[in-house]
């Protein structure tokens, strides 16, 4: 009897979305470390006019990632929309299976590049394959949709825990879902102003986080840090630890603060850490700066949860995909912006981009505060607000 019970338990676990997220995150961490080392080695002999050897290496490194990440963000736009509509028609897991298939193929490309000593440009083709499968623009909304439809509106308010993306988006998501069937919820009016404010805040925060993380990989490879492959791995592990600390932060803070305050705490955590990061000169200072980012993954997760509350269940996947595509457009803006600013400030203040990221994060707190004010007005005048929102929705 023990074996059938064990097999049944394993089957139940494997059908949940959480183990899938953990495995994907583990694979991404290993892949990112390997890819950064390959790019560093291939660009060791880079040379540009009027630039020192180290600056030339940094330019080659950041130029590769600028192109690679632009492909990752631009190509999935249409496939992600198509998968979102397919998901809203009942094929919920298609938004997970298709992107993960492309994810696997793109990761195999790195192995082939190393085994057969292929040119580095092969990874651009791998990025296209991943993008055509929907990429993270389809994957994370698919995860959010499964989590949201498996919980009540009250649970969705604070149960979404720990995303991080990408980083540059990055933000990736671990969720806590209800084991019981979701309760039937009547259609709620859509507060378009709140949704727009949430989208604006998400855009600004992703612009800041993505831009900083985009440069962080190159920043630790140059003097005075000059990290090795092992140190890069430890740095990525420290970044992954933020998933856990953000998760614990949600558990602790959700009992005493509102969703909006959760977002503001996370934004302040990231802004303070990035400001400190701009003056880092030793490995110890780097980890101290990262320790200030303990709750940096809370904002995007909570924003997604709030967006899922504002729309009917039949439009949940589409709304979350539109939010994800908004972050894609943020990526199209911050990738070249932060890359060029970093290359232009290498010789006098390499940490300037982190001060910029901190400043943009503070700007992102403004629409969040305003959305809280609107929420308070909704509570004070519920009848009037319901009528206005209903007519706006119609």
Pairwise CA distance, residues 334 & 66, whole Å? 10
Architecture of domain 17-175+187-393: Up-down Bundle (1.20)
Each residue's pLDDT expressed in tens, for the chain with a length of 394 residues: 466 776 666 666 556 777 888 888 888 989 999 999 999 999 988 888 888 989 999 999 999 999 999 999 899 989 998 998 888 888 888 889 999 999 999 999 999 999 999 999 999 999 999 999 999 888 988 887 777 766 655 555 544 444 444 444 444 444 433 344 444 445 556 678 888 999 999 999 999 999 999 999 999 999 999 999 899 999 988 988 898 899 899 989 988 888 899 999 999 999 999 999 999 999 999 999 999 999 999 999 899 888 888 777 777 777 887 897 898 889 989 999 999 999 999 989 999 999 999 999 999 999 998 876 655 554 443 333 222 232 332 3
Number of C-beta neighbours around residue 355 at 10 A: 16
| Residue extents of the structural domains in the chain | 17-175+187-393
Task: Report the predicted TM-score, pTM, of the whole model to 2 decimal places.
Answer: 0.80
Among residues 324, 333, 263, the alpha carbon closest in space to that of 295 is found at 263
Q: Residue 60: how many CA atoms within 13 Å on its side-chain side?
A: 25
Could you tell me if 250 and 158 are in contact, meaning their C-beta atoms sit under 8 angstroms apart?
Answer: yes
Pairwise CA distance, residues 171 & 106, whole Å? 20
Burial 358-390 (b: 16+ CB within 10 A, else e): bebbebbbebbebbbeebeebeeeeeebeebbe
CA angle 243, 247, 249 (to 5 degrees): 115
Number of C-beta neighbours around residue 112 at 10 A: 12
């Amino acid at each position: 009897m023990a074996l059938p019970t064990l097999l049944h338990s394993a089957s139940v676990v494997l059908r949940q979305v959480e183990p899938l997220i953990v495995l994907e995150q583990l694979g991404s961490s290993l892949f990112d470390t390997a890819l950064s080392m390959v790019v560093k080695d291939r660009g060791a002999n880079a040379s540009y006019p009027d630039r020192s050897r180290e600056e030339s290496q940094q330019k080659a490194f950041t130029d590769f990632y600028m192109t690679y990440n632009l492909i990752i963000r631009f190509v999935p736009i249409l496939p992600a929309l198509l998968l979102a509509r397919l998901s809203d028609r009942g094929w919920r897991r298609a938004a997970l299976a298709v992107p993960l298939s492309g994810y696997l193929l793109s990761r195999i490309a790195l192995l082939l590049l190393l085994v057969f000593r292929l040119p580095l440009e092969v990874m651009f083709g791998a990025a296209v394959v991943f993008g055509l499968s929907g990429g993270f623009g389809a994957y994370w909304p698919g995860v959010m949709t499964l989590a949201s439809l498996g919980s009540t509106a009250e649970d969705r308010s604070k149960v979404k825990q720990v995303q991080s993306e990408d980083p540059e988006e990055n933000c990736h998501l671990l969720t806590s879902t209800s084991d019981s069937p979701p309760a039937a919820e009547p259609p709620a009016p859509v507060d378009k102003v709140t949704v727009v404010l949430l989208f604006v805040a998400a855009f600004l925060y992703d612009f800041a986080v993505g831009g900083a993380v985009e440069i962080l990989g190159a920043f630790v490879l140059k003097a005075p840090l000059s990290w090795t492959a092992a140190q890069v791995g430890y740095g990525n592990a420290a970044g992954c630890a933020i998933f856990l600390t953000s998760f614990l932060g949600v558990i602790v803070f959700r009992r005493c603060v509102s969703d909006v305050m959760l977002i503001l705490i996370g934004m302040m955590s990231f802004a303070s850490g990035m400001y400190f990061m701009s003056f880092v000169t030793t490995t110890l200072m780097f980890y101290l700066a990262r320790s200030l980012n303990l709750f940096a993954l809370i904002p995007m997760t909570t924003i997604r949860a709030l967006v899922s509350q504002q729309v009917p269940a039949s439009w949940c996947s589409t709304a979350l995909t539109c939010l994800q595509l908004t972050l894609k457009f943020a990526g199209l803006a911050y990738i070249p912006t932060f890359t060029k600013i970093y290359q232009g400030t290498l010789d006098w203040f390499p940490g300037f981009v982190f001060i910029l990221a901190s400043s943009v994060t503070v700007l992102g707190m403004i629409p969040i505060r305003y959305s809280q004010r609107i929420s308070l007005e909704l509570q004070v005048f519920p009848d009037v607000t319901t009528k206005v929102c209903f007519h706006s929705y119609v």
